[in-house]
Amino acid sequence: MEKEVKAYNSYKKLSYIDGNLPESVRRDLNIDELCEKIDYTSSCIGRQFLYHLLCIDKVSSVNKHERLIEYLQKDFSIRKRASEILGKIKRM
């Protein structure tokens, strides 16, 4: 796994210790390999956050955004525009 992708999680470990999986558990679960297999993100920031979610011992709160996710799935033009705007982050 790229060092840049792990950077956000490393930062968050400094912010709060509870909830982070120990390094031995991450290795046992092959977190790096899992992240690479399920990564469909389009930016480094997205990959960093995905990796962080896999490294903490908590259930993701993505279900709070279910209505927005459904809206973006149905409306191609909004989804395309959002992708274009977020794509600019990739080049920064």
Residue located via tokens 């999680």: 9
Residue 3 above 60 pLDDT?
Answer: yes
Q: Do 45 and 86 contact (CB within 8 A), yes or no?
A: no
Whose CA is closest to 52, among 1, 3, 2, 5?
5
3-state SS class at 45: helix
pLDDT in tens, 19-57: 788 888 889 999 999 999 999 887 788 888 899 889 887
Residue 18 pLDDT class (50, 70, 90 cuts): low
**Residue 9: what pLDDT?**
74
Is the pTM above the cut of 0.85? no
pLDDT value of position 23:
83
Which residues lie across from 20 on neighbouring strands?
56
Domain ranges of the chain: 1-59, 61-92
